[in-house]
C-alpha cells in the first residue's frame, strides 16, 4: 500500500467527507435491516433458499442496493482505518 502525505487541513476535510459518505451507506444498511428484520447475509440466503422470482423487483432491487451499500461502507472503513491526521 502506498502512503501519501497531504496537508493536515486537507486531510481533516477529506476524513470528514469520508465519514459523511460512510454514514449515508450505513443508513441504507440500517434501513434494510429494519425493513427485513435480518442481516444482509440472512436476506441473501433467504432469497436463494426461497427461490425468489426475478419478477419480484422490489426484493431484488433491495438486495442489490443493500449489497452495494455494504460493499461501499466496507471500502470506506478500510480507507478510514489507514487514515491518519494530526
Distance CA 36, CA 19 (A): 26
Mean pLDDT of 52-57: 76
pLDDT tens-place string over residues 28-44:
999 999 999 999 999 99
- Which sign, positive or negative, has the C-alpha torsion 58, 60, 64, 67? positive
pLDDT tens-place string over residues 57-71:
889 899 999 999 999
Q: What is the pLDDT of residue 4?
A: 75
C-alpha cell read off for 44: 441473501
**Distance between alpha carbon 35 and the CA centroid of its chain, in Å?**
16
Amino acid at each position: 500500500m502506498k502512503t501519501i502525505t497531504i496537508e493536515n487541513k486537507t486531510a481533516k476535510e477529506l476524513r470528514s467527507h469520508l465519514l459523511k459518505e460512510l454514514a449515508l451507506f450505513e443508513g441504507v444498511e440500517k434501513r434494510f435491516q429494519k425493513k427485513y428484520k435480518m442481516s444482509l447475509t440472512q436476506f441473501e440466503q433467504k432469497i436463494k433458499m426461497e427461490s425468489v422470482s426475478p419478477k419480484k423487483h422490489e426484493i431484488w432491487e433491495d438486495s442489490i442496493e443493500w449489497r452495494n451499500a455494504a460493499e461501499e461502507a466496507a471500502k470506506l472503513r478500510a480507507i478510514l482505518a489507514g487514515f491518519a491526521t494530526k
